[in-house]
Structure 1
Amino acid sequence: MDLQNHVSIDLAIAHEGGRRMDSAPNGVSIGAVRLRNWQIDRIDAPADMFDGYHAHFIKINYELELEPGLPGMPWFEIAFDFVPGEKESPVTVIDALPRFGTFANMPKPYVLNQFLNFVPGENGASTHVLLPASTDRVDMFGIGGQDVRWRHVSLGETGVLPGSYAAWVVLLTPAGQFEQRVEFSARYDLAVGPDVEYRPTQSSANFRLSLSAPSEAPGVVTPSLSAPVADRSDEFHPSVFICYAHDSLLHKYYARQFGNLLVRNGVHVYMDQWDESHRKNWATWARELINKVDFVTVLASPICCKAFDGKLKGDDNPGIRSEALLILEKLHARREEWTAKVLPVVLPHELVEHVSDMLQTWTVDHYEIRHLTAEGIDGLLRAMTGVPRYTRPPLGKLPPSVFESLSGTES
């Protein structure tokens, strides 16, 4: 198959009751990941909400195709970059589902509120999205930008499940723009034997969305004005392993208070002080949790810094040594993924200088917590949820005056 083929997807304005499926993406594939038909509808947004832009509701169907009997795939990722042309204004991903975490209990309904955000709703005829249950973890990136991607990560030994998946996007496109280039890319972790001469590649595929001009007909997706502003606290609870050294009783106390604060603010926390109920292999305990959780916080301290820098002597502090070696191994082998997962934290009683250089203190973010309060950990929680404090507004137009020259007699 020619991966650089142009796929035209007509975002026609559908009249009331006229939802439509488009078969153009069907069969576009990158390795084990294949696109299927897309459902595309225009959103009946208030005219003055996004001046000069149109909003679209897109359901992206895709699937993971694996041959029976192959080793499990630990993770795979799909991404869509809405690339602007030389003279085109960028589009914006207003919101997308699934967002973050696992959804193992039962399917969950969502509706669009007046700000075009997905919020939990009641299961019924007014539901816009019914998010299926899943035992894998899904991480989403891209809200507020021109690209969006989803990473599926297996939490078990069998790998991510093959089969059909779906994702939903609220997409803002400039009015008067009738074509939008999209770059579809995929990454995946396939186990191959040492004797295999060739390795799987992940080249991108380009296609184009054809955007029809608006009409007076209303869109088929109408936001719910009564839906609440997005409350995501019941949807995603990140899990965190606290990696720290036992420098002093004071440091252990602050580490425990930090863990308590995270739990009170919706984070599943794992730390040694809460798990001393019976004799265990602490190295195995740490390895299993570090591989399981969404994030690892590394608390700055002199001993922790030396452990990550490889400067500890003798046989003391075996726990932090083992954890540091494992975390550094993860960073070395899968730099992009684990840079986002490992979060260096400086508690109120500590110094930034006690964050190891191996964790890239200044070229990558670190999190100084001056007060153990909800406000004090706001930046850290945003790193876990991926939701920025501020979002970029849609690109406006240059004022006409900048295209006019003053005459020689004007001053």
Structure 2
Amino acid sequence: MRSSPTDRTAGSVPLFLDVFVRSVDLAPNDIAIGLIRFSGWQLHRIDPLPAGFAGHAAYLVRVNYEFDVPAGETPPAWAEVQFAFDAAEVMVVDAIPRAVTAAEPARTYELTGQLNFVRRAGGRSRWAADASEANVALPAVRSEVAGFGLGSARVRWRHSGGVHAGTHTAWLVLLTPPDRTELPVLAGGAYHLTADGDLGLHASGEPDAFTVRLPEAPEPDVPATPAADGRPRVFVSYAQESPAHKKAVVELCRLLAAAGVDVRVDQDDLEHRRNWDEWTTTQILRTDYVLVVASPAYRAVGDGELADSTRHRGIRSEYSRLADLLHRDRDRWTKKLLPVVLPGRSPDEIPLAFLPAIADYYVVAAFTRDAAVDLLNVLFTAPPR
């Protein structure tokens, strides 16, 4: 059964490491209008935006479509693809190819401060060398192509002078409201074939609709907030699995504080009511290091082996945050997450996500400075901000 145009929404799958900035959307991969077939879109959120675009979000979009001309048949004299966007506040800032009157080789473009496409040349660029905004690759164009719709909510490309079968690529820059997460699109296509016999009928196709997900804005890189006197600031993450283990964590915190470390742990300032979810997130993002205290419960939470899902909800929440940050920026958070093994505990109690077998961990065999010297040396080295 064919779905209605309004209920086609495709999921996104990650293409690059930073999934919050770049993605591939499967839409409009299953749409065909006659001999015109559409493939998935590649989207990149432009960040930071150049001056003059405050209050908006902008996206660099790669569009793929193909003319599926059956073997042995004469290609159409011309063909046209079109995409219309649903809201007046959505605008096509620029698009390529723009006006091609003869075959052109493959070329690379970059964006200007006005979000226009220009041929990339040597010399200074406003973008990093490997930025998507500086590496817009347009494949060779073999026929005449004219672009329309710049400055509007509709863009189209008309191929003429001999339409070539196969895949074609185009690029556009979209300007949208900053809070849009999805963008409905109406796809259209037209092409010219010889009229059908005496009736004079021409081929035509109905427009179809799809929705693409827009990549989210990257989360701000929140700097660590060291103590006023420059001491290293740490957050201690541990499982509250027994009074003895909690007491050992308190001993660790006292040792660190006596050595000059600014320690943040959930046993401080208990006389005040607080939102623990917000407090934990703030501590994780604003400290120089996070100490992960090994224990059987912490390992069970991290490795998905906790039998009772109603227990240890706090450490489950902390572990999820830390694992997510480690996945997003492994180089940075491998340095910031320090597994600690207290007296009577074992490295085997470090969750696997924190790499106990292939990265460093810190054994504190007794609550003395000498026993904690390896950990203290790391804490008083320049933190990875």
| TM-score of the aligned structures, taking structure 2 as reference length | 0.49
Q: Which has the higher contact order (CA 8 A, sep 6+)?
A: 1
